[in-house]
Amino acid sequence: MCGIIGYKGQRNASEVVLNGLKALEYRGYDSWGIASLSSELDVVKDIGKIGKWMIEDIDLSKSSLAIGHTRWATHGGVTTENAHPHYSLDKRFAIVQNGIVENYQDLKKELVQKGYNFKSETDTEVIAYIIQEELKDKELIEGFRSAFSRLKGRNAVVLIDSVSGKIIGARNGSPLILGVGDGEYILASDASPIVKYTKDVVFMQDNDVVVLNDSYHIINSVTGEEIDREVSHVSWDIKQAQKGDYPHFMIKEIMEQRTTVADSIAQEKDAVMEIANALNGAFGTYAVGCGTAAKVCLAATYAFSSITHKHINFSLGSEFPSYHHFLTDKSLLLVVSQSGETADTLEAIEVMKKRNGKVVSLVNVMGSSIMRQSDYALLNNVGPEKSVCSTKATTAQLAQCILLAYAAADKYDEGMNLLKDASNKLNLMLNDQFCNSIKKLACKIVDWESMYVLGRGLNYSIALEASIKIQEVSYIHAEGFAGGELKHGPIALIDKGTPCIVFVANDDVKEEILGNAMEVKARGGYIIGVSPEDNSIFDFWIKVPDVGDASPIVNIVPIQLLAYYLAVEKGCDVDMPRNLAKSVTVK
């Protein structure tokens, strides 16, 4: 959600920032802008997509330092005036920001009383003027630090100053990473625009302020004390963040699941067993996530019940604070997040930490906020996921949850063998013939305005996840239900020809879910069966391998493909669906 980049070095900073903003497009945005310093500080910004722009099209002089931003509207509509960067009134500096300034109304009222005139509707402009006000009696770094400390909420702010030629960045709850190159430095919201130039990074922590000049130094925003942060090495390859020969990131990432499930379970056994022991020793365990990650968490509760015979509570990240009454120092939070920066999930961790409970995280981004705040963490190991619609991270997280359930049941080797088998069979399943059959199905049902998805047991959560996939990329209304709930209301929505996807695994609820499918068919529904075996109830059969407890992994993949082909048929923006962001860093 929004993207920040800043560069200082020997290259053309405006071009580095432009290319960096293109690398950050996947985060979701509706406008963009660049501030560049050569003989003077210039700002160019616009609404819409940045992908079509080349450096020759942008009226910015060659320079050695620049900052840029992709904005996802929160305060104020999608307009050029509201796009970042925002100047100070005296045009000495410009700033960009990710996050929400929760106390911006109070700050704005104070500034208006002091004579400041606002040109935008954003909370970001407030930050610029607060900094300008602080600079009346303070030096740049002290004034920036003082202003940043007045902001409430999760924020990352980057400033470019025309007087000193410095770039200053700070974070509190919203991600910011420093890339350390050979005589050059890059600030960015994530590693995507950095790895082209360097793989050495500093993961900035809350209340860190970094100053870029001929070198860099980091200070604490509250105390002003200098901080020594470790330089880490990221393993992502720039090719992993490119589409290659694929038309979209989404289809590339779907097909990468031929190997990413196996990559996700390639963990040190001791690390897995340590987490399993922590899960077994906890009294009151909660699985928490948002969006797709929440569906993974729900699947985990079923997996632990079935495999480990252990009860795990489920909660959406945004709802978890309501459970704080039940938390103790023996409680444990299992959190799932692709980005590791999800705001509601971070708040859930804060709630657990206040009760001195433990946190286990499954994340895809090394050094992310969630990973750093966890007592135990497993990386998904799937490489960058650029499409807003999560695919390969989802199946990786499902695999890791299932592995943890087997490990907690003291059946680690059995779990590894099951998941390796599932990975091998998924690799064989994802062939041209299979993809073409899903594409034909998409063409058949693309004109329907609504469809429904049914599942039971482990695959109930997959029914919910399947409906999200279809909604978010094809904009077709889809709803997932537990099969047993059908006759309690949703069956009234079934009309002649209404598509209904049904997940049928070879498990102890097979007969019940087939019965639910029959109820839909009897009312004219078009049954799409996802199952290892065909059935006369199915009007269209999607054959998936029989992999036991790992069925959620192989079952969701064909619906990922279906959602993709539906979106392509409808001409939707597959990788960047409307109104959505990849990393939801605001509440």
Pairing of β 526-531 and β 540-543 = parallel
Tell how far CA 521 is from the center of its chain. Answer: 37
Q: Is 310 among the residues known to form the active site?
A: no
CB 124 within 8 A of CB 96: yes
Q: Which residues pair with 86 in a beta bridge?
A: 95
**Residue 111 Cα to chain centre, angstroms:** 35
Rounded Cα distance between 473 and 194, Å, is: 28
Distance CA 251, CA 546 (A): 24
Contact 24, 3 (CB under 8 A): yes
The rounded distance, in Å, linking the Cα atoms of 525 and 411 is 41
Determine which one of 2, 290, 500, 572 is catalytic: 2
Q: Which of 295, 386, 392, 582 is catalytic?
A: 582
Instruction: Classify each residue of 400-410 as buried b or exposed e, where b means 16 or more C-beta atoms within 10 Å of its C-beta.
Output: bbbbbbbbbbe
When computed from its CA atoms, the radius of gyration of the chain, rounded to whole angstroms, is 25
The CA-to-CA distance between both ends of the chain, in Å, stands at 11
Q: Which of 20, 18, 22, 29 is nearest to 62 (CA)?
A: 18
- Is 120 within 8 Å of 86 (Cβ atoms)? yes
DSSP 253-275: HHHTHHHHHHHHT---HHHHHHH
Token pair listed for 269: 């056994």
Tell me whether residue 353 is one of the annotated catalytic residues. Answer: no
Angle of CA points 417, 423, 424, to nearest 5°? 90
Which residue, among 422, 394, 391, 416, has the nearest Cα to 403 in the 3D structure? 416
- Residue 12 neighbours by CB under 8 Å, 6+ apart: 55, 62, 63
- Asked if 380 and 398 count as a contact pair (C-beta separation under 8 A), the reply is no
- Tokens 């020809």 sit on residue: 497
**348 Cβ contact list (under 8 Å, min separation 6):** 288, 315, 317, 320, 321, 333, 335
Angle in degrees, CA 514, 516, 522, rounded to 5: 100
CB-count exposure of residue 543 (10 Å: 0-12, 13-18, 19+)? middle
d(Cα 448, Cα 498) in Å, to the nearest integer?
7
- Phi and psi at residue 104, to the nearest 5°: -65, -30
Q: H or E element: which one contains 400?
A: helix 392-408
The residues annotated as belonging to the active site are 2, 582
